[in-house]
């Protein structure tokens, strides 16, 4: 079976219910082989404007639909995503590279947002506030923000899409999505399934192509009332500035530099298990991936040994091979960055325990470097690759200071068996999310997001839908 024959496969953009091709196209590559697997339309500002107009038209009827009808259509989309989960996972692995089992996990995770927000659509409650005078009533309504632009990255081609589109649709908004150029096929397949589920034309548009032209059209348009962006901090900052003239609402899920603190009282085996999950998922290319391990002097060697033993069991190979656990990096730029971080850590005195080099093509060997000094690049910048750098600390205050010594504030992990310390340290860490003796922190039921240079706003949970709602207050007088 080829990619093109997989049931939800689409290679055209979707504007106002029409699947369109462009005069120019962009190649989509399989990072495992370098082969061109598809070509999608290379569209620009004109098509983005058409999509904005289609969204504006479609949203008028959508916002007036009873919540239960919006919920039912989202439930139908959810069912179709699950029904096609193997084909979607195959598409995702082909364009992104992650192992098939991880891709299937991402599809299930992506579907969980559709289900969650289908449920939340029915719980958009208002308020009645006690009024200052007896002949008045104060009502608070929640209304959809309107037309929403969404821009997503390549590392989670399915989940980043549904985490934005599902709450927007549930709230009564219409969306125009610009997916990452590396991974448009998963987004297009999801949009095809939304259409099949009966979600009306114009509510979920997908415009592939030139980021600056499409993004520029989004940012200039007064019709687009909100931008939800997931990607790098540099691009997020630029979009923040571009949002000023039209005062758009923003949700920004940006870069991270997650610390993983292992205290002397930690369960070292559990910490090493968590480290594998928190560091090597998606070959280290997740925004909540551990970027720095901060390990107490007393357990440094034991932790390194336990982690190295587990890393020996990781298998580098194409995502399509059932035994692979580490797929390719997304492109050559990613490989170069990882190589620089490793070379810098070793040059500054870090001890290479395992790995350290490219396996082949875009496949980097899982790498462990002990005794990394705190000023190494790996301790300061997002590596986005399968490299674990271990930094020592000797007391709690020092560990907290080192963990917070970054512009980022997305996720942090803490391993300790001391309940007092667990609460103290979780309280002191300047991060939006904390994994306490737990590395699997992403779930649709919890508010995902960061502080500082990691962004603003939350996705998922009951808070996620509020990002797509405005408050309207009505003062009733003369009663």
> Are 252 and 352 within 8 A, CB to CB?
no
Q: What is the rounded distance in angstroms from the CA atom of residue 328 to the CA atom of residue 283?
A: 7
Closer residue to ligand NAP, CB minimum distance, 65 or 249: 249
Q: In the complex with ligand NAP, which residue's Cβ is closer, 218 or 415? A: 218
Name the active-site residue from 95, 106, 182, 287: 287
**Two tokens, residue 4:** 């093109």
Q: Which of 14, 15, 13 is nearest to 26 (CA)?
A: 13
Distance (Å, whole) CA 3 – CA 166? 26
Is the distance from CB of 402 to CB of 392 less than 8 angstroms? no
Shortest distance (Å) from residue 466 CB to ligand NAP: 17
Alpha-carbon gap, residue 18 to 229, rounded angstroms: 24
Please report how close the Cβ of residue 210 comes to ligand NAP at its closest, in angstroms.
Answer: 7
Beta bridge partner(s), residue 127: 140
The C-alpha angle with vertex 185 and arms to 180 and 190, in degrees rounded to 5, equals 100
56 membership: H or E segment, kind and range: helix 45-64
Q: Determine the residue with CB nearest ligand NAP.
A: 215
* 3-state secondary structure at position 257: coil
Q: Which residues bind ligand NAP (CB under 6 A)?
A: 151-156, 178, 180-181, 211-212, 215, 230-232, 235, 238, 253-256, 287, 382, 410, 450, 455
Pick between residue 136 and residue 212 the one whose CB is nearest to ligand NAP.
Answer: 212
Distance CA 285, CA 383 (A): 8
Query: Residue 238 CB, nearest distance to ligand NAP (Å)?
Result: 6
In whole angstroms, the minimum distance from the beta carbon of 408 to ligand NAP comes to: 9
Is 382 among the catalytic positions?
A: no
**Residue with Cβ nearer ligand NAP (370 or 429):** 429
Q: Are 350 and 372 in contact (CB under 8 A)?
A: yes
The burial class, CB within 10 Å (0-12 / 13-18 / 19+), for 456 is middle
Structure tokens given for 275: 């480290």
CA separation for the pair 459, 345 (Å, rounded): 34
| Nearest by Cα to 363 from 100, 30, 2, 101 | 30
Identify the active-site residue in 106, 120, 182, 253: 253
Q: Of the two residues 255 and 274, which places its CB atom closer to ligand NAP in the complex?
A: 255
Q: What is the DSSP letter of 283?
A: G
Name the strands in the sheet holding 411-415, side by side, starting at the edge strand that comes first in the sequence. 351-354, 367-370, 387-393, 290-296, 258-262, 411-415, 433-436
Is 253 labeled as catalytic in the residue annotation? yes
Minimum CB distance to ligand NAP smaller for 206 or for 304: 206
Residue 274 or 409 having the CB closest to ligand NAP: 409
The residues annotated as belonging to the active site are: 253, 287
């Amino acid at each position: 079976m080829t990619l093109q024959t997989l049931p939800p496969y689409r290679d055209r953009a979707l504007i106002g219910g029409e699947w369109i091709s462009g005069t120019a196209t962009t190649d989509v590559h399989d990072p495992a082989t370098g082969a061109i697997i598809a070509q999608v339309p290379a569209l620009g500002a004109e098509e983005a404007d058409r999509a904005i107009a289609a969204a504006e038209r479609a949203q008028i009827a959508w916002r007036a639909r009873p919540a239960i009808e919006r919920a039912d259509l989202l439930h139908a989309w959810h069912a179709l995503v699950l029904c096609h989960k193997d084909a979607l996972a195959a598409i995702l692995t082909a364009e992104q590279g992650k192992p098939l089992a991880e891709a299937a996990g991402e599809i299930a995770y992506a579907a969980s947002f559709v289900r969650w927000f289908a449920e939340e659509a029915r719980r958009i409650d208002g308020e009645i506030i006690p009024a200052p005078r007896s002949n008045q009533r104060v009502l608070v309504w929640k209304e959809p923000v309107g037309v929403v632009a969404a821009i997503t990255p390549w590392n989670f081609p399915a989940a980043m899409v549904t985490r934005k589109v599902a709450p927007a649709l549930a709230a009564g908004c219409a969306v125009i999505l610009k997916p990452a150029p590396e991974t448009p096929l998963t987004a297009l397949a999801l949009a095809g399934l939304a259409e099949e589920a009966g979600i009306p034309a114009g509510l979920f548009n997908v415009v592939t192509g030139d980021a600056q032209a499409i993004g520029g059209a989004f940012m200039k348009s007064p019709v687009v009332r909100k931008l939800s962006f997931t990607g790098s901090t540099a691009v997020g900052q630029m979009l923040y500035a571009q949002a000023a003239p039209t005062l758009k609402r923003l949700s920004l899920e940006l870069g991270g530099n997650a610390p993983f603190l292992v205290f002397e009282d930690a369960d070292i085996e559990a910490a090493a298990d968590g480290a594998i999950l928190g560091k090597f998922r998606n070959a280290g290319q997740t925004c909540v991936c551990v970027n720095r391990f901060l390990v107490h002097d007393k357990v440094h060697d034991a932790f390194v040994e336990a982690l190295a033993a587990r890393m020996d069991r990781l298998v580098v190979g194409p995502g399509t091979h059932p035994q692979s656990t580490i797929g390719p990096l997304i492109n050559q730029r990613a490989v170069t960055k990882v190589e620089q971080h490793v070379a810098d850590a070793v040059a500054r005195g870090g001890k290479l325990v395992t790995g350290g080099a490219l396996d082949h093509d875009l496949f980097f060997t899982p790498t462990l470097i002990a005794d990394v000094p705190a000023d190494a690049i790996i301790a300061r910048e997002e590596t986005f690759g399968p490299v674990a750098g271990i930094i020592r600390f000797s007391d709690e205050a020092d560990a907290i200071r080192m963990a917070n010594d970054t512009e980022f504030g997305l996720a942090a992990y803490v391993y300790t068996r001391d309940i007092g310390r667990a609460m103290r340290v979780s309280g002191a860490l300047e991060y939006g999310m904390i994994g306490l003796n737990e590395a699997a922190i992403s779930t649709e039921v919890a508010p995902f997001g960061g502080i500082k240079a990691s962004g603003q706003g939350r996705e998922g949970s009951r808070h996620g839908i509020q990002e797509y709602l405005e408050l309207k207050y009505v003062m009733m007088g003369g009663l």
